[in-house]
Amino acid sequence: MERRSDRRWILQIVLMVWAVIQLFPLYWLFAFSLKSNEEIFGENIIGLPHQFLWKNYETAIIGANIGRFFINSVIVVGCTVILTSIISLFASYALCRMRWKLSKVFLGLLMIGLMIPMHAALLPVMLMLKHMNLLGGYLSLIIPYTAFAIPMTLLIFIGFLSGIPVELEEAACIDGCNIYQMVFKVIFPLMKPAVATAGIFTFVNCWNELMFANTFVNSTEYKTLTTGIQTLAGQYNTTWGPIGAALVLATFPTIMIYILLAKQVQKSLVLGAVKG
């Protein structure tokens, strides 16, 4: 019996050590985002800051445009999530419930689409956007992000929709609803949990996306956080405090959402993987 509880303790310690390894870089980031160069580079490398230098945040937000990049990310990701949800809601209903010949074919194509890496689309999409004079603006990111988010969102929606009993729709039909009223008034309100699941998945992916953001948008006016930070890191490579502050600000929203909705976020990402 004693040996058993010994082993338990060892396991517990292993888990604690790994937790520290996972969290330490984040702690270190938060600590140096509030330090001066003297502290970071010499006297106090890993401790908490002696003097909390909130000025680093001011420098990052105003001096280095992180505020602007943050707003851009919110606009791009927000529009992508909303647009993807609306488009996929309609399509999932047509694919899952409505009767037409090619529905199976479309579903099969979408499954294949899940495996197409974004990298393959980089140059052709860039040329298309250039032709349409959209390169460099918000739409140059919203359009490709939405397109690549649709297959996964659709699969999550279809999975959810097939679990909703048809009786509700039959009742609505008897009450004289037409197809549009039925979809808007009966189905969409029921789909809220699926929208949340897929939305989180899309949010995390787009918020962190780098390749398209890096190649399609060049101006400070429209840059999102991922590219913004890259630029900032180049500019401030000798003063780490403001970079740290920018990194904290960039990761803050995903971490907040994660802490508030840990279970829901985990569910989204697991579902995303399993469907993929």
Partner 1 sequence: MGKLLQNKKAIFLFMAPAVLFFAVIVVAPVFLSGYYSLLEWDGMGEKIFVGFDNYARLFTDSGDKFLLALKNSLMIAVFSLLIQLPMGMLFAIILSNGVRGERFFITIFFIPVIISTVAIGQLWGKIYHPDYGLLNTLLRNVGFDRLTRAWLGDKETVLAAVITPIIWQYIGYYMLLFYSSIKSVSADLFDAAKIDGASRIQTAFRITIPLIKPMIKTCLIFSLVGSFKTYDMVCVLTDGGPAHASEVPTTLMVWTIFKRNQYGYGSAMAVIIVLICFSLYLLVQKFFKADNE
Which residues in 125-144 contact partner 1 (CB under 8 A)? 125, 127-128, 143-144
| DSSP three-state, residue 142 | helix
Options 164, 186, 188, 214; binder of partner 1; rule CB under 8 A: 214
CB of 200 to partner 1, least distance (A): 9
Torsion of CA 221, 225, 230, 235, to 10 degrees: 60
CB of 59 to partner 1, least distance (A): 16
Contact 145, 78 (CB under 8 A): no
Question: Of 33 and 222, which CB lies nearer to partner 1 in the complex structure?
Answer: 33
Unique residue bearing structure tokens 């390749």:
211
Q: Does 48 bind partner 1 (CB under 8 A)?
A: no
Q: Does 194 bind partner 1 (CB under 8 A)?
A: no
Stretch that binds partner 1, among 57-65, 133-141, 191-199, 252-260 (CB under 8 A): 252-260
Residue list 82-111, contact with partner 1 (CB under 8 A): 87-88, 90-91, 93-95, 97-100, 106, 109-110
Residue list 58-87, contact with partner 1 (CB under 8 A): 87
CB atoms under 10 Å from CB of 213, counted, come to: 24
| DSSP three-state, residue 159 | helix
| Alpha carbons 77 and 84: distance in angstroms, whole number | 10
Q: Does 113 bind partner 1 (CB under 8 A)?
A: yes
**Ramachandran assignment for 176, one of left (phi > 0), alpha (psi -120 to 50 degrees), beta (any other):** left
Q: Does 165 bind partner 1 (CB under 8 A)?
A: no
Number of residues that bind partner 1 (CB under 8 A): 89
Question: Of 75 and 257, which CB lies nearer to partner 1 in the complex structure?
Answer: 257
| DSSP three-state, residue 43 | helix
Options 6, 13, 17, 18; binder of partner 1; rule CB under 8 A: 18
Options 31, 69, 76, 151; binder of partner 1; rule CB under 8 A: 151
CA distances from 13 to 4, 26, 223, 261 (A): 14, 20, 44, 27
| Alpha carbons 89 and 81: distance in angstroms, whole number | 12
